[in-house]
Amino acid sequence: MKFDSVTIVGVGLISGSFSLALKDKGLVRNVIGVSRTPESARKALELGLIDEVLPLEEAVKKSDLIYVAIPVDATIPVMAQIMDLVTDKQIVADAGSTKFALCESLAGHPMRSRFVAMHPMWGTEYSGPEAAVRDAFRGRACVICEKEKSAPDAVETMEGLYRDMGMNIVYMDANSHDMHAAYISHIAHITSFALANTVLEKEKEDDAIFELAGGGFESTVRLAKSNPSMWVPIFMQNKEHVLDVLNEHIAQLRKFKSCLEKDNAGYLRELMENANKIKRIIK
């Protein structure tokens, strides 16, 4: 399917990469950007991510597809505005890292069927229009939540778009998505933020961190460079699942700490060998 006009609400990493994929594959004639900041809109225009900038209401009325990729706390009120404007000929999709609160907020909306709740499971620690990446989604998973509540043509269109971009489609209910996202994604970010704070607190010499940090440390704290404006709302909106996984993570850390305190090398080795089982899943 080729779109005459697509609106991306938010002109950052995910939406910018999505727009590039549409353009590179010749799937859209015109991309409209809606941005909270003029600087981001200007940069997105310069980079060719979008073709024009319009206010939200005007952009929605001109578009076949409205794609929302903004912080999850802002998504709910913005999505309410969008859904009040769309017709049964348009499609609305989002790319948020949490799904339950958004799906609940739209549950009774008369145009709910035009919305497809999605989460492309890809990202980097960078943000803004300049962070957009070509061919970003290939080989990754895209979750669709509450498929049965979306119109078949809307689901089919979005499935086709993401498959064209090389993604594998996974279906879940919204609560299950948020639980799995807490374990697979959200805890990794919290751990990275916490480790960065630990090192910054204990190692007072910036040069020593820069000169001695190896690949393992760099890969572990990479996510600590992520934008707090995006991640604070994710943690707060998914706090029940995040707290659950955080409690388990703390319990695991206590086991390692206890091994060292008690000179229990045998159990320490057992913990590490058990962790090695992850190699069966992640190569």
Mean pLDDT over 85-98 rounds to 97
Could you tell me which residues come within 8 angstroms of residue 158 by beta carbon, excluding any fewer than 6 positions away?
A: 91, 93, 116, 118, 144
Q: Rounded to 5 degrees, what are φ and ψ at 66?
A: -115, 120
* Residue 190 token pair: 């919290």
Bridge pairing between strands 3-9 and 168-172: unpaired
Statement: residue 118 has pLDDT above 90:
yes
- Give just the sign of the alpha carbon dihedral 223, 224, 229, 234: positive
Better pLDDT: 20 or 279: 20
CA dist 11 and 123 (Å) reads 14
pLDDT digits (tens, 9 = 90+) for 214-230: 667 777 889 999 999 99
pLDDT score recorded for residue 256: 97
Give the predicted TM-score (pTM) of the model. Answer: 0.92
> Please, what are the domains in the chain?
3-172 (3.40.50.720), 177-280 (1.10.3660.10)
Q: N- to C-terminal Cα distance for the chain?
A: 35
Q: Which is higher by pLDDT, 2 or 75?
A: 75
Report, as an integer, the average pLDDT of 115-126. Answer: 95
pLDDT band at 262 (very low <50, low <70, confident <90, very high): very high
Instruction: Report in angstroms the alpha-carbon separations of 9 from 6, 53, 65.
Output: 10, 10, 11
Q: What is the pLDDT of residue 267?
A: 97
CA angle 22, 119, 33 (to 5 degrees): 45
Answer whether residue 210 shows pLDDT above 90.
Answer: no
Region 80-97: mean pLDDT is: 97
- Look at residue 140 in the predicted model and tell me its pLDDT: 96
Q: What is the pLDDT of residue 46?
A: 97
Q: What pLDDT is attached to residue 214?
A: 65
pLDDT at 282: 80
Count of Cβ atoms closer than 10 Å to residue 156 Cβ: 13
Give the pLDDT mean for 121-149: 95
